[in-house]
Amino acid sequence: MITIKNLHATIEGKKILKGLNLEVNAGEIHAIMGPNGAGKSTLASVLAGREDYEITEGSVDFDGVDLLEMDTEERAREGLFLAFQYPIEIPGVSNINFLRTAINETREHKGQDPISAKDFMAMVREKSKLVELDPKLASRSVNEGFSGGEKKRNEIFQMAMLDPKLSILDETDSGLDIDALRVVAGGVNTLKSEKNATIVITHYQRLLDYIVPDFVHVLHDGKIVKTGPKELALDLEEKGYDWIKEEN
């Protein structure tokens, strides 16, 4: 699905990613954990195509295409989805209308006809149920006046609507109470299939009780320094990140 090789990225001349390698296959869930400042969110931003970052070295192959050559919107249309750590509030822009535009631009990209209004509304009803998002909220301005939990549920709702190949959840658990966390994780688990893959970026092990990863990677100082099964997350929770820092 995605193969990241020796990825180096800088922002304003500061090196953040320093030779990151990662391979994720269809049907897998990978967790990336690490201390603050390790480069977790940078990785998410770089994969989504944020232009503030400069890629100085390395390659990213996304299902046979060169991801780094594509604009942000092309990546999205090819099936890459980033659930934002801090979803942006966009006053005046209707959540479902912009999603309809997004879906239709993606369908056009794939040579498909636009979705009918009826099918679209049926999909909104179905997918908003998945994350227990009030359908009224779905039609309001993007994230405007949403609580922290509603914003995260809206991210997963959008993910469900767009049906991506690869989803990157950037600290989706941050600021969530346990009920919201369960709902969000439940949505992610329902959407999981043999055809898609998920990268879960988190600082805490807690989320991984609900979204169970196939692999856990530890990111430290811009590189993946340790990879293991889901139990690795428990070790990290117990011993803290200093253990990793000392090892490296």
Q: Which helix (H) or strand (E) holds 191?
A: helix 178-191
CA distances from 6 to 18, 37, 126 (A): 8, 19, 41
Rounded Cα gap, residues 33 and 48, in angstroms: 18
Question: What sign results for the dihedral spanned by CA atoms 215, 151, 16, 36?
Answer: negative
Rounded Cα gap, residues 216 and 201, in angstroms: 10
- Could you tell me how many residues of this chain bind other proteins (CB under 8 A)? 35
Structure-block tokens of residue 94 = 């209707």
Q: Which helix (H) or strand (E) holds 243?
A: helix 242-247
Cα separation of the two ends of the chain: 29
- Least separation in angstroms between CB 90 and other proteins: 5
* 158 binding other proteins? (CB under 8 A): yes
**Judged by CB under 8 A, which of 92, 113, 178, 194 binds other proteins?**
92
* 199 binding other proteins? (CB under 8 A): no
* 2 binding other proteins? (CB under 8 A): no
Rounded Cα gap, residues 223 and 15, in angstroms: 11
Nearer to other proteins, 47 or 233 (CB): 47
- Least separation in angstroms between CB 79 and other proteins: 10
Q: Which of residues 19-48 bind other proteins (CB under 8 A)?
A: 48
**Judged by CB under 8 A, which of 57, 71, 126, 247 binds other proteins?**
71
* 213 binding other proteins? (CB under 8 A): no
- Least separation in angstroms between CB 174 and other proteins: 17
- Least separation in angstroms between CB 207 and other proteins: 21
Residue found under tokens 């966390």:
181
**Judged by CB under 8 A, which of 76, 124, 219, 244 binds other proteins?**
76
Nearer to other proteins, 164 or 213 (CB): 164
Instruction: Evaluate whether 99 touches 141 at the Cβ level (below 8 Å).
Output: no
- Least separation in angstroms between CB 72 and other proteins: 4
Q: Which of 171, 194, 179 is nearest to 38 (CA)?
A: 171
Applying CB under 8 A, the residues found at the interface with other proteins are 48-51, 71-73, 75-77, 81-82, 84, 87-88, 90-94, 97-99, 101-103, 105-106, 109, 139-142, 158, 162
